[in-house]
A and B are shown apart, each in its own frame.
Chain A
Amino acid sequence: MKIIAACARYTTPDDLKSLQIANDADLAALAAEGAFDGVERIELQFPKFTDGRAFSQAVLLRRRHGFTGDLRATGDVLIDQLVQMARSGFTSAVLAEGVNAAAAERQFARFAGFYQGDALEPRPLFARQPSEATHDHREAA
């Protein structure tokens, strides 16, 4: 997962075709309108870090709408939610203002594996082979 400090967000612009979606948007309606066609990045919103709707939106975009581009978490993004975001299908995150990325990396290294399937490993622990019980949630940042 690519982690971007708040201050770095605009200093490294890219020219990906981006779409911003509110966390109460109707994804099925947007898909029906063709809103995701040709889109390379979708930015989802965390207006407060305690508002978890965008986790489900990310899951739906990956699983139901087959979105394969960059899925970016924006808004009140804190380091203790980054692993959850990666597991829900986000591939990049812009940290909230004032959040230090230094403590982020060790969060990804902490757990050897999880019980549920997720965006990175769809099979739950019980459906994996014992040798596959652990998997690495880090990707090249």
Chain B
Amino acid sequence: MARKAVPTIQQQDTMYRYTDFDRQFVQLRAEQFRDQLERWQRGELSDEQFLPLRLQNGWYVQRYAPMLRIAVPYGEISSAQLRVLARLAREFDQPEPALLREAQRTQDALQASQPGLTLAAPPLKHGYGHFTTRTNVQFNWIPLARAADAMDLLASVGMHGIQTSGNAIRNITCEALAGIAPDEIVDTRPFAEILRQWSTLHPEFAFLPRKFKIAFNGAAEDRAATGWYDIGLQALRNDAGEVGFTVKVGGGMGRTPVIGSVVREFLPWDQLLNYVEAVIRAYNLYGRRDNKYKARIKILVKAEGQKFIDAVEAEYRAILEQDGAPHTITRAELERVQAGFEVPPLRAAGVASETSISAKPFQRWLAQNVRQHRLPELSIVTLSFKRPGWAPGDADAATLDALAELADTFSAGEARLTHEQNLLLPWVHAQNLPALYERARALGLVQPNIGLLTDMIACPGGDFCALANARAIPIAAALTELYQDIDEVTDLGPIDLHISGCINSCGHHHSGHIGILGVDKDGKEWYQVTLGGSDGSALSGPATPGKVVGPSFSAAEVPGVVEAILDSYRELRTSAAEHFIDTLRRVGHDPFKQAANAARLDGHHRSARQAEEVAA
């Protein structure tokens, strides 16, 4: 087939378009950060005083270098923004050679200090961005001295790190299929944008007891894990067809996993800001500040129960009756913001390709990585960032540039970050799928594993994060390696495997069907395995934390433990149609626990055998 010129899909209004005010605001924020950074460098701000200022701009200081967390509100990212991320990866995410050597030496020493307990550790990488579970992008090596320049560059495409850390209202998420899912009830992106604006530099709520996370879901299926959020908002329509939200408050992971409680069955859409204000004001006044681990709103809701809900309702009434409800969303404002989320003008298909469409790899990719769109001529394509040689969700400069190109060619210039650390193209003409497959394959992004075992979630863990108790990347790498047979992975069916390097739970281990949590014992890395967690999706059932199978395992044991659990599943399932989570719920945890615990000393599992073969 001859290669034709690629028709580009016109780029307009697929995403909220920043007004002059919005653009200027982000630029002024970058200027403010430069001023703060310079005052800190001159010694006018102490480290302690500078800390929350840099955190609220996304700047952490990690194990070896600063980490920048950039917000991608509700996951929507444009090709222009992807290109700027590519530049950041190429030009900024580059450590001094001496720093990298020292960091690698320290990691090697960590490995050497635990003989017999570890897995192969991939060397530290740089020059790439990392997609997080909450639609942020992180970079690990940008020197603080270049921080202000990085923020200026980001501001040039409307990006920033505002409130991606610190004890404030964090980046607001939506399910990745908002606006394109066949089961959508309400497109929540405009509401997320309105709430994002309201939460940005909120004067009263910048020093809350602890971080505060809000998620929206607008479809029949909860794909946004709303039960796990400080505030989870499920959009719905009442009998009269009016739009509103079921409001859940007090979910969260961490040391004490809690599922949010419904405090309002139906909050009219125009009251969103007024009600959220009432919730956060009550939290700001009454949330615990004496103990970091008891400071999230979930602890307040658990401890106070109805009393907390009554306080919120009283405050909400006062906002309505005494304040005159100044933040009632007007229809004009909703329509203004909604106009930024129209379906983009789509040109006819026609990108040439040499893909053999009847071949099994393409068919398998179609079945696993391509979803039905609410518009019949379109498809939703998830590019898999779960591939050998890479940690989950990592994309280097060349890949980020190539993604921008794919988004321009196939998806009206728009892509989306997903909760599962992949990147999704929302506006792909079904006839262009073979051409997209061909190009994505060249980038190594077509593993047909979306939703399957190897589509695992993992935080950066002890390779980078100062909070981590254990490394997550070697665990993810070993499991990716162990399950390279796609026939086997497909046969195992949908499984949520989530890995966190510490109890802060950035890898959402609590909500994994199989959860792996790094813990520290006497300076050594150990891993707790949990079973039966759920994020609240249709597959997984109501949100719930998993249960621990037993005492923790060494890293070297983890692949064998996972394998034993999955072998048990294959033995116990009624047929290949019964999913792992359903078998687990039907037969109970015991046989899986036994298999997992037996794997501690079992030398017959494949991972151990492979290790022996390599050694032989």
Q: What residues make up the interface of A, taking CB atoms closer than 8 Å to B? A: 49-53, 55-57, 59, 63-64, 78, 80-81, 83-85, 87-88, 100, 103, 106-107, 110-118, 122-127, 133
Which residues of B approach A to under 8 Å, CB–CB?
21, 24-25, 28, 31-32, 35-36, 39, 44-45, 49, 52-53, 167, 194, 197-198, 200-208, 273, 281, 284-285, 289, 318, 322-324, 326-327, 329-330, 332-333, 336
Which residue in chain A gives the minimum CB-CB distance to B323?
A63
Identify B327's interface contact among A50, A57, A113, A117, CB under 8 A.
Answer: A117
Q: A63-B322, A112-B28 are in contact. Are A55 and B44 (CB under 8 A)?
A: no
Contacts of B324 in A (CB 8 A): 122
Flag if A56 contacts B204 (CB, 8 Å): yes
Extra inter-chain contacts (4) besides given A51-B289, A52-B204, CB under 8 Å:
A56-B285, A80-B45, A115-B198, A124-B326
Question: Is A100 in contact with B201, judged by CB distance below 8 angstroms?
Answer: no
A110 to B32, CA, bound (A): 7
Closest partner residue, chain B, to A52 (CB atom): B207
Contacts of A110 in B (CB 8 A): 28, 31-32
Which residues of B have CB within 8 Å of A115? 25, 197-198, 200-201
- Complex CA–CA separation, A117 to B53 (angstroms): 22
Q: Are B327 and A116 in contact (CB under 8 A)?
A: yes
* B330→A87 contact, CB < 8 A: no
Q: How far is the CA of A49 from the CA of B49 in the complex (A)?
A: 8
- State how many angstroms separate the Cβ of B40 from the closest Cβ of chain A: 11
Which residues from chain B contact A52 at a C-beta distance below 8 Å?
A: 167, 204-208, 284
Q: Give Cα A103–Cα B44 distance, bound, in whole angstroms.
A: 10
Assess the B198–A116 pair: CB atoms within 8 A.
Answer: yes
Q: How far is the CA of A84 from the CA of B201 in the complex (A)?
A: 8
Which chain A residues border B207 with CB–CB below 8 Å?
49-52, 55, 81
Residue pair A124, B28 in contact (C-beta under 8 Å)? no
Using A59-B204, A115-B201 as known contacts, say yes or no to A64 and B318 having CB atoms under 8 A apart.
yes
> Knowing A87-B203, A114-B201, A117-B327 touch, does A64 contact B322 (C-beta < 8 A)?
yes
Contact partner of A113 among B21, B203, B285, CB < 8 A? B21
B205 touches A59 (CB 8 A): no
When distances are taken between beta carbons in the complex, the residues of chain B under 8 Å from A125 are 21, 197
Number of residue pairs spanning A and B whose beta carbons lie under 8 angstroms apart = 103
Determine the residue in chain A with the shortest Cβ distance to B289. Answer: A51
Chain A residues with CB under 8 Å of B326's CB are 117, 122-124, 127
Contact (A53, B285) CB under 8 Å given A110-B31, A114-B201, A116-B198: yes
Taken together as a complex, chains A and B put the C-alpha atoms of A81 and B326 apart, in Å, by 24
A50 touches B52 (CB 8 A): yes
Q: Are B44 and A114 in contact (CB under 8 A)?
A: no
Whole-angstrom distance between the Cβ of B34 and the nearest chain A Cβ:
11
Min distance, Cβ A136 to any Cβ of chain B, angstroms = 15
On whether A118 and B44 interact (CB within 8 A), knowing A63-B323, A111-B25, A126-B330, the answer reads: no
Q: What A residues does B28 contact at CB under 8 A?
A: 110-112
Question: A115 to B327, alpha carbons, bound, how many Å?
Answer: 10
Bound form: Cα–Cα A140–B207 in Å: 27
Given known A-B contacts A52-B205, A114-B201, A78 and B49 have beta carbons under 8 A apart: yes
Complex contacts, A59 vs chain B, CB 8 Å: 204, 281
* A64-B318, A110-B28 known; A83+B203 contact, CB < 8 A: yes
Assembled-state Cα–Cα distance A49/B46 (Å): 13
